Amino acid sequence: MRGSWLTVYAAGCLLAQSALADTALSQSEGGYESHAVWIPGGRFRAVVGLSSDPKKQEKDAVLKPFQMDRLPVTNADYLSFVKENPRWQKGNAPKLFVDEQYLAHWEGSLSLGANVEGEQPVTQVSWFAARAYCKSKGGRLPMENEWEFVAAASDAKWDARQDPSWRKQILDWYAKPNPAKLPKVGQSHANLYQVFDLHGLVWEWVEDFGSTMMGGDSRDTGGSDRMLFCGAAAVGAGQKNDYASFMRYAFRSSLKARYGGRNLGFRCAKDAPLNMDGAAKIGR
């Protein structure tokens, strides 16, 4: 079992760089607002449904407008955060909120060291830490639906999840071994929302990461696990051929909130008014 887990881990967790640097984002400056884009929200059918009855037609989730960071939070961003918030420095952060992986790759509590670059995405941060960071910026972690809504877009389609070549591209990323060194943020193609690195760089925390429970199907693990869950019937998966999305849900549902993975980072989101005057209006 452990062996097969490791194989899946190697195939699934270790994302690789998308080597397309031609539309690389130039160094971004300024505060939260200039990092974020306004997303109009809309209807979204997640791969994992909300129906209590697997036979019932799934309804779409309706998302309100929100803002999302164009880039994952970087080591440099996170370093300034811990300078201002000593409670979250490596060594200070309470064990209730972080595990021993927390910022373990950094040289010190206030220094990245020679092997870690400021423009790489920060990883080895727990859900609690990611949440505290976003809160300090006046934001929050994206909800799983929000993250998936934006991540469904390719650079050509607002919802590319049914596009076989797009799917293949993502699955190829999942299958590639982990690069020895994580690439910098913003080196890939932006999607139609002008958001970078949702695929192909690191996995990302979402606010409700633990909300997917793969169950309720006759082919699931069955037995005693069923006793763990409430509700008359469990969630059935929607578009069953969207393997790439499904993998992300499965991965996220395997996480524990204190966990700090080597390829697990985050970006922030924020509630947004219905219209954003002066902000980049990007959307369908």
Partner 1 sequence: MRWLLLCALTLCFCQKQKTEDPAVAKVAEHAAVLDVKGGPGEAKKAALGGESLYQLQFALTDQDGKTVTLDSLRGQLVIVSMFYAHCPNACPMLFHKTKTLEQKLSDAERKQVRVFLVSLAPDVDTDSVLKGLAKKLEVDETRWRFARTDEKNVRELAAVLGINYRKLDDGNYNHSSVLTLLDRSGVAVAKMEGLAEPVEPLLERIRTELARPSQK
How is residue 49 written in tokens?
């449904």
Q: Which of residues 54-83 bind partner 1 (CB under 8 A)?
A: 59
Is 171 a binder of partner 1 (CB under 8 A)?
no
Q: Which residue has the tokens 């060594």?
A: 91
Nearest one of 170, 172, 127, 134 to 152, comparing CA atoms: 170
Region 11-40 residues binding partner 1, contact defined as CB under 8 A: 12
Sole window of 145-153, 166-174, 185-193, 253-261 interacting with partner 1 (rule: CB under 8 A): 253-261
Closer residue to partner 1 in complex, CB, 42/215 = 215
Residue 250's Cβ-count burial label (10 Å; 0-12, 13-18, 19+) is middle
Q: Identify the residue whose tokens are 């961003």.
A: 77
Tokens 């037609």: give the residue: 57
In terms of CB distance, is 68 or 206 closer to partner 1?
A: 206
Q: Which residue has the tokens 């899946």?
A: 8
CB-nearer residue toward partner 1: 19 or 227: 227
Candidate segments 37-45, 77-85, 89-97, 148-156, binder of partner 1 by CB under 8 A: 89-97
Of how many residues is the chain composed? Answer: 284
Q: Does residue 85 touch partner 1 according to CB under 8 A?
A: no
- Helix (H) or strand (E) holding 252, with range, is helix 243-253
Q: 143, 68 in Cβ contact below 8 A? A: no
Part in contact with partner 1 (CB under 8 A); list of ranges 171-179, 180-188, 189-197, 205-213: 205-213
Q: Which of 31, 55, 96, 164 binds partner 1 (CB under 8 A)?
A: 96
Among 31, 240, 274, 277, binds partner 1 (CB under 8 A): 240
Cβ neighbours of residue 206 closer than 8 Å, sequence gap 6 or more = 141, 142, 143, 144, 146, 147, 252
Residues that bind partner 1 (CB under 8 A): 1-2, 4-5, 8, 12, 50-53, 59, 93-97, 99, 127-128, 131, 207-208, 210-215, 219-221, 224-225, 227-232, 234-235, 237, 240-241, 243, 246-247, 250-251, 253-254, 256-259
